[in-house]
Structure 1
Amino acid sequence: MTAVIGLFLMLFSVTDGVVTHCDGRQNGAQCYGALGGSVSIQLMDDFTEIHRYYLYKNKTVVMLGGKDKKPDTMMNNRYSFIPSNGTFWINNLTKNDNDEYSLTTFDTNGTQTANHSLQLSVQAPVSSVSLVSECLSQGEMKVSCSSEGGDSPQYRWTLNGKSLTEAELLSGNKQTNIITLKQHVSGRLVCSVSNNASSASNETNICTCGFIYINSIINGRKISKWVFLENNTQCVEPTIVSPTETQSTVDWSMLRCSLMFLFSVVSFVGIGVYFTWKKIKSEKDEQSAERDRTQFLEDFSGNEQALYSNV
């Protein structure tokens, strides 16, 4: 019961820091802790039947106990030990906790039954990861990743949930803090920063910097490159539309206007032809009437002369 209460109090006191765990049961184990946080080191499975045990930091005893003796952490309130599960805790880690720790156990006859050591390394945790992106002259994007603190930080990049590939990277690699992405790359970019004691990440959405890829032939010269969309005056590629798309996207209003214009032209021509024909017919009728009048007058005049000559 005392061990459970001690464990509860110990956990309550470290909730504000980073907690790491290490299996120190094998000789030569490497353990890591976060600066200001806590580390739990499993030294053995169970100490309740061990007659005597001593834990050394370098050559200094930091904890001792036994089957008939309660564990003593040598007056250091940052240390805690739970015999029932064999875990040794160090809270509020400092750089001074970096060292080699060794465990020695003895039986009732005073004979040494076990002796193994481990190495503890305390690292400053990574935090506050920030991303800075910059569009380059040809549409590439340079992205920098950094974090506050963090000893020996390691970097990992993912795009849309997947690790970056060589087809997406122009320079750098997915383990460096500065990368350059190719022109066509876009999506959710995540930078994860970690060391052996902690990890943190940040993300950003990236676009193609407003560049497009042109592939055209101008005056017999082929142009294939990335250009800024708003400044693209070199090449405008035609949009190729399939026959089905052409049929489905016919501008019926234009066709209707064309037909109306054609009808108007035909109507005007028809009216013109009609009035021209009417004019010609009217002139012909007038000429014919004039001839008839002239012929009548000539005939009447001849008849009148013949009548007077007979008298």
Structure 2
Amino acid sequence: MQAVIGLLVMMLGASYGLETHCDSRQDGAQCFGPLGGTVVLKLIDKALETERYQFFKSSTKTTLILHVINNKIVHNGIKSRSSFNPSDGTFRVNNLSRTDSDEYPFEIRENSVIIETRALQLTIQAPVSSARLASECLSQGEKRVSCSSGGGDSPQYSWTLDRRSLTDTELLSINTETNSITLRQHVSGAVACSVRNNVSKVSEEEEISNCGFIFINCTSNGTQISKWVFAANNTLCVEPTTTSPTTTIPDPSTAAHHSLLVCGVRAAVVVFALIGIAIYFAWKNKNYKKAEGSAYRPEREHQDESVVMVEM
């Protein structure tokens, strides 16, 4: 029978190797075990030789699971898949199945007198095997992210953005029925979905970006416009081409050639200007000398005549 149960558990995709621990030293303890895995129950601190322990299944105590006398196991109803450690008072049960979910009374006797009685509730859950994320852009630029899990009993979902909790300015809404959230238009980053129950936890992370929307805030024809629009199709708050001439970015090689040409022209103008100035001053100096010569020559002739007259 146990082999058949184990085969069914494997077919259902339960994860073997999972292990949970439960402290059942208080009456009414709620314990959980993974389907196909192991649960370790803390029954007592340490088994004493002066005491006798009995562990039953069901509130009516119809099935005796464990009987310990003087630190020795005298009866174990599930010996093939369980063990009791008297040194630390733990009872380990492996290969858990759905039928293990039940109430388990526990009694401590001393000299055939019950000195303590309590019970624990054990619930077997199928562990969550995986988490999957899917995202889509909505008409107004919001992004919906959905999370689904592979198997698992009573899964619970939680969300983070860049490994922190989402804020009201980032989270637009959350839908617990579809396990999805809707993020506002500006949100981007690593969104993670964690799926857990009492025996397991898995998570999945996905990098998301905004949906190509931009927020515009302007006045057009006397009307104030403040809204999110798709950037590629935006015609709002855009100045007309007649009032906003297009700025052409020149080619770097053309700009460099133009700069060299301008510099060359300027240099030529300077050279020609200098040459012109030099010619002007040369011409002026020549005329000045000519005028000077014509001014002093009569005086010299007069002087020469004076000398001749003196000599005579």
- TM-score with structure 1 length normalisation? 0.69
Which residue of the partner structure matches residue 203 of structure 2?
201
Tell me if 1:69 matches 2:72. Answer: yes
Q: CA RMSD in A?
A: 2.9
The alpha-carbon deviation at position 183 of structure 1 amounts to 0.2
Alignment partners' CA distance in 1, 2:139 and 2:262? 53
Tell me what 1:145 maps to.
Answer: 147
SS at match of 2:80: coil
Which residue pairs with 2:182 in the alignment? 180
Q: CA deviation at 1:234?
A: 2.0
Counterpart code for 1:41: L
1:228-307 alignment runs, 5 A limit: 228-236=230-238, 260=262
Q: Secondary structure of 1:161's match?
A: coil
| SS of match in other structure, 2:124 | strand
Long gaps (5+) in structure 1: 1-14, 238-250, 272-311
Separation in structure 2 between the aligned mates of residue 68 and residue 182 of structure 1, nearest angstrom? 63
Residues 35-184 of structure 1 aligned to structure 2 (within 5 Å): 35-58=35-58, 59=61, 60-67=63-70, 69-107=72-110, 109-172=111-174, 177-184=179-186
Shift of 1:197: 1.2
Amino acid at match of 1:100: E
User: Using a 3 Å threshold, how does the CA distance of structure 1 residues 75 and 163 change in structure 2: closer, same or farther?
Assistant: closer
Shift of 1:202: 0.4
- The TM-score normalised by the length of structure 2 is 0.69
Displacement, 1:50? 4.4
User: Which secondary structure state, in structure 2, belongs to the residue aligned with residue 96 of structure 1?
Assistant: helix
Which amino acid is 1:93 matched to? L
Cα distance change on mapping 1:71 and 1:211 into 2, 3 Å = farther
Alpha-carbon contact 2:47-2:71 (below 8 Å) kept: no
Name the CA shift for 1:195/1:50 in 2 (closer, same or farther; >3 Å): farther
How many residue pairs are counted as aligned between the two chains?
A: 238
> Could you tell me how far 1:113 is from its partner in structure 2?
1.5
Q: For the Cα contact (< 8 Å) 1:193–1:199, is it kept in 2? A: yes
**Cα distance between partner residues in 2 of 1:231 and 1:260:** 43
Separation in 1, partners of 2:18, 2:139: 43
Name the stretch that deviates more: 76-85 or 227-236: 227-236
* Structure 1 moving runs of 4+ over 4 Å: 173-176
Paired position in structure 1 for 2:227? 225
Q: Measure how far apart 1:127 and its partner are.
A: 1.5
Change (3 A) 1:50 1:152: farther
Contact 1:154 1:175 in 2 (8 A): no
Q: Counterpart amino acid of 1:26?
A: Q
Paired amino acid for 2:220: I
Alpha-carbon distance between aligned partners in 2 of 1:94 and 1:70, rounded to the nearest angstrom: 23
Cα offset, 1:52, TM superposition: 1.4
Distance 1:30 1:37 in 2: 17
